[in-house]
Amino acid sequence: MISILEIFPTEILFEIFDYLTTYDIFYSLNNLNKQINDIIQLYPLNLNFQQISRSKFDFICRYIKPEQVISISFSDEIMPNQVELFKQYFPNFQYKFISLKKFIFNNTSTILSHLPTSLTSLSIKTYLKTKQTDYLIMHTLNQQSQYLTYLKVDGSYVFRSINTSFPLLTHLIIDYCTITDFHRILHCLQSPIIYLKLSLYKEENLTLINFQSLSKSLLQLSLLFSQEILMSFQSIKQSIEQLDKLISLTIQATGTLDLMNGQLWEEYLIEKQIKIFNFKFTLAHHINCQEDKQSLLQTFRSLFWLKKKNWYVACEKGNFKSSRPILYSIPYFQPSFIFYPSNNFLSDTIIEKEIHSNHIFNLILTFYKTITIPTTPFTNVYSLTLFTTTLPSIEILLAIVNLEQIQELDVSLIKNLSIVNFQILIASMKKLKSIKMQYNPFFCPPLHIDSYIFIRNDREIFVIDENNLDRFCYLFYFIKYLEITVKSKEIILQLLKRLHYLEIVKIYCYQDYLINIKYNWFQENIPRLNTNYFTYRTTSSCLILSIGDRKIMNAKTIPETIDDDSVKPGCYKIRSHCVLQ
C-alpha cells in the first residue's frame, strides 16, 4: 500500500521537515520504507543539541549520515559533556562532515578542533576558561582563518595568539572587548567586514573607536557600551563618521542628555542615510533630569519617526523628578520580561498598541487588589508568571493573555494557591509543557506535562525529605525533567532509583557536599545507571544529570576505549567503538 507521504514530491517533504526537529524526523519517519529513508538522507540537517536529553542525543547520533549535516549547535546547560561524547561517536570528525557550514558552541566546557574546511560560520562561548580550552580555541581559529566568513566569540582573549589574517571574514561579533583590543584585532584580521557587533568595556586610557579600515565595507554596526563608559551624541557621531556605507546602526549606551534628543538623531540619520536604527540610552548617574516621560519622548513624535520610518520609542522613568530615564527602540530593545500592570505601560510613541503587545513573549502578572484589563491582550506569550496573592480566575486571565499559547507556567510565587482552580487552569492550556511551583502533596499532575521545577516555600530548607519522599514519587512517577532541592544525597539516590522515566535532573543539596560524586557512585547505587548511558556535572551543591537509553551491547555499536586520563570528570568513560546504524 502506498502511503500519503509517498505521493508528495521531495520538495514538499523537505518543507514539512523544516517544521520538525531532527529527532522527530528520524523517530517518526525513518524506516517506514526505502523511499522515505532515501528522502530523509537527502535532507540537509541542522542539529540543535542545545536543549536535548541524553537519550535523544544518542538516538540522533546513531541515525544521522555525517555528510547530510550542515550545522551543529552544542550546549552543556542541561546535558553535560556533549562535545566529548560527539567526538566518541564521530572520530575523524573533520573528514566525515564534509557539508558542515555552521558550528555553535554555546556554554560548553570545550570545543572540537580540526574542523572541516567547508565550515564558514563559527560561534564560541565556553564556561570553562582553562589554558587547554583557550589553546584549543586559538589553534582552531588559526586553522579556520582562511575559510571563515562568520565569527562570534565571547571575548577578545581568543585573538591573543592569532597570527594570521581572515581574508573572507564578513561578520564579526565580540561579546567582551576594549577599544584598544579591537584596534589590535582589526589590524590583525585584515577582513572585509560588513557586519560588526561589539560589547565594549572600560579601560584606563579610553579613546574613540577608529573604523577607518572599515569605511568602505561596513554596512551594519552594533555597539553596546558598558555603563562605565560615558557617551554623548557627539562622541558617537565622531566614532562612526568614517563609515560611508553604513545603513544599519544599533547602539546601547549610558551618557549625557543629548543622547535622548530625537531631533539631533533625526538630522544625523537623514544625513548619513541610515535605514535601520535601534537604540537604548540610559542617563548617567551624575546627571539630573527634571523632564517627565512625555517630554523626553516629544522629539521622537515627528513625522520622520512615526510616519516615514515607523520607528517607535519607549521611556522608563521613576516617579521622582530626579529618577534616571531610559529610552529605547520598540520592539528591538523591549524587555524580554514584562511586568503587567506595573509596566503597563511604559510611556511610548506607539500609535497602534498591538505592535507592543504582539512582541511580548514573557509576561509577569503582578496585580493584587485591583485588576486592570489591557485594551490589547497579549496574544503571543509563551511564558507566564503569576506574581499574585491568589490565583486569578480563568476569565480574567483570558482577557489579558491567550492561554492556549502558554508553554511555561510559573505559580511558585503564589502563597495561597487553590489546587482545584489550578487544575482547571492548566487544563485550559493546550500547549503547556513545563510548570514551576511550590510542591503541594494534594496536586495531581496531568500525565502530559512531564517537566517540573519545584521551589522551597519561606518555611522550608528543602522541598523533599524522608517524610514526603514516598508521596512525591507516587505522584510524579512519570516525570522526565526535574529541578528540585532535597535534604541529602540519600534522597537524591531514592529519587533516581524510583523515578524511572527521568531524563534530565537538576538537584540542589546544601547539606551534603556533591562535588566529590564520581561515576562509580552512580553505578554502585542506582541500578538503572548500570544499564543506561548518562552524563553528569557537579558543583558543591548542585548535580546536573542527563540519562540516556539502555546501553547497546553489540560491540560494533558501542564507542571505542579511551584513556582514563583523557576523560573529563563527569564524562562517561566509553569503552568501545560506535558506528552509525
Domain boundaries, the chain: 352-437, 448-551
Three-state DSSP at 314 gives strand
Q: Are 246 and 274 in contact (CB under 8 A)?
A: yes
- Backbone phi and psi for residue 556, each to the nearest 5 degrees, phi listed first: -80, -15
Per-residue pLDDT at 320: 67
> What CA–CA distance (Å, rounded) separates 177 from 199?
6
Residue 437 parent element (H or E): strand 434-438
> What CA–CA distance (Å, rounded) separates 449 from 434?
6
Three-state DSSP at 153 gives strand
Per-residue pLDDT at 460: 81
Binned average pLDDT, 10 residues per bin, the chain of 581 residues: 71 92 92 88 95 93 95 94 94 94 95 93 91 91 96 94 93 96 94 97 87 95 96 94 96 96 96 96 90 91 94 85 85 85 68 74 84 84 93 92 96 92 95 96 94 89 92 96 95 95 94 89 92 92 93 51 33 29 24
Per-residue pLDDT at 442: 94
Per-residue pLDDT at 557: 47
Closest by CA position to 566, among listed 140, 126, 158, 132: 132
Per-residue pLDDT at 552: 73
pTM: 0.87
Per-residue pLDDT at 27: 92
What is the separation, in whole angstroms, between the first and last Cα of the chain?
A: 26
> What CA–CA distance (Å, rounded) separates 157 from 161?
9
Per-residue pLDDT at 416: 86
> What CA–CA distance (Å, rounded) separates 463 from 452?
13
Residue 223: CB atoms within 10 A of its CB come to 20
Per-residue pLDDT at 88: 93
> What CA–CA distance (Å, rounded) separates 124 from 116?
16
Closest by CA position to 309, among listed 281, 330, 326: 330
